Amino acid sequence: MDRPKILVITGPTASGKSALALEVARHFGGEIINADSMQVYKYMDIGTAKPSAEERKLVEHHLIDILYPDETFSAALFREEAQGVIARLQREGKRAVVAGGTGLYIKALTSGLIKGGEVDDTIRGRLQLEAQSKEGRQHLYQRLSEVDPITASKLHPHDTYRVIRALEVYERTGHPISALRREHLFQEQPYKVLKIGLIMERKELYRRIDQRVDEMIQRGLKDEVRRLLEMGYSPSLKTMQALGYKQMVEHLLGGCDLSEAVRRIKRDTRRYAKRQITWFGADAQIHWAEYPKDKDAIFRMIEGFWEN
């Protein structure tokens, strides 16, 4: 049996992913599967740039508003949920358009996750505590060099997050993460995938980010965050530490004025976009284009993928 075909539309924040996904889904008869780690949460609409109610009436959107802000989600859970949606769409003869900028979610869906890669909070917490001690980071890196020299050689000693992640997997499984990744490469991929990445000149992207943040403020981001706090959601929640929410919480709790909060949101969103560009830039399967400038070429590519 042929593997199901899925279209992935990705790229940095504010690059036009949602608009293109909506246009593609309407044109080709598809439904959209959200691949943004924050749009899964209820009550968090403005700060996550969630599709509007009108847009969601035009095209069915999946994996939006499925959790409360104090619930946890992960790449593994995303993959499980998205696979269920894709299977149903295939049975119904509809096309799956996966759209979002959370690179790990897209990687989990299209390439799977390495065995033994689940997060272990106990091990991770202990390693994080150790990293905070004097010489802690250096000791962790030295330990990784002994148990997994291949991974250690690719990491900077101060890349604490990835060093801890590699040690965590080793302690959980007894195998180096480099060996598990090699083994994973030989697994059959579950889907035939066309990945389209949206990109533009950095200056224009930053202008669009600033414009989007200004629009979020005008639409009531401050009131949205205030309501979340009034509903009892703690400022320390992972969701409340997300981009836009963290800075607005700081403002509402008296840590800074509104103009400073807005400045920080714009700055941190630009930094996030740079990290996304770096992440997706390492994926050789992505076909890069600018939307709407390259719309005709994008549609020809998609049509060729789905029709052949």
Residues 31/86, Cβ–Cβ less than 8 Å:
no
- φ/ψ of residue 41, rounded to 5: -95, 135
Q: What is the pLDDT of residue 177?
A: 86
Q: How many CB atoms lie within 10 A of CB 46?
A: 19
Using pLDDT thresholds of 50, 70 and 90, give the confidence band for residue 117: low
CB atoms within 10 A of CB 156: 9
8 Å CB contact between 47 and 221: yes
| Residue 175 banded pLDDT, cuts 50, 70, 90 | confident
- pLDDT for 221 equals 99
Q: Count Cβ atoms within 10 A of the Cβ of residue 290 and give its class: 0-12 exposed, 13-18 middle, 19 or more buried.
A: middle
Which 3-state string (H, E, C) describes the chain?
A: CCCCEEEEEECCCCCCHHHHHHHHHHHHCEEEEECCCCCCECCCCCCCCCCCHHHHHHCCEECCCCECCCCCCCHHHHHHHHHHHHHHHHHCCCEEEEECCCHHHHHHHHHCCCCCCCCCHHHHHHHHHHHHCCCHHHHHHHHHHHHCHHHHHHCCCCCHHHHHHHHHHHHHHCCCHHHHHHHHHCCCCCCEEEEEEECCCHHHHHHHHHHHHHHHHHHCHHHHHHHHHHCCCCCCCCHHHCCCHHHHHHHHCCCCCHHHHHHHHHHHHHHHHHHHHHHHHCCCCEEEECCCCCHHHHHHHHHHHHHC
Name the β-bridge partners of 62: 33
- The CB density around residue 277, as the number of other CB atoms within 10 Å, is 16
Q: What angle do CA 107, 113, 114 make, to 5 degrees?
A: 135
Residue 267 has pLDDT above 60, yes or no: yes
Superfamily grouping for domain 5-112+187-307: P-loop containing nucleotide triphosphate hydrolases (3.40.50.300)
**What local confidence, expressed as pLDDT, does residue 118 receive?**
67
Q: Identify the residue whose tokens are 């802690």.
A: 136
Q: What mean pLDDT do residues 28-52 have? A: 98
Contact 109, 79 (CB under 8 A): yes
**254-260, Cβ contacts within 8 angstroms, sequence gap of 24 or more:** 258/217, 258/222
CATH 1.10.20.140 location in the chain: 121-185
Share of the chain above pLDDT 90, in %: 79
Question: What confidence score (pLDDT) does residue 160 get?
Answer: 86
The matching CATH number, chosen from 3.40.640.10, 3.40.50.1860, 1.10.20.140, 3.10.20.30, for 121-185 is: 1.10.20.140
As annotated, the residues of the chain forming the CATH 3.40.50.300 domain(s) are: 5-112+187-307
Residue matched to tokens 């909506």: 22
Position 185 scores a pLDDT of: 64
Query: Whole-prediction pTM value?
Result: 0.84
- DSSP bridge partners of 97: 7, 32
Please report how many Cα atoms fall inside a 13 Å half-sphere around the Cα of residue 183, on the Cβ side: 11
Q: Span 206-225, mean pLDDT?
A: 98
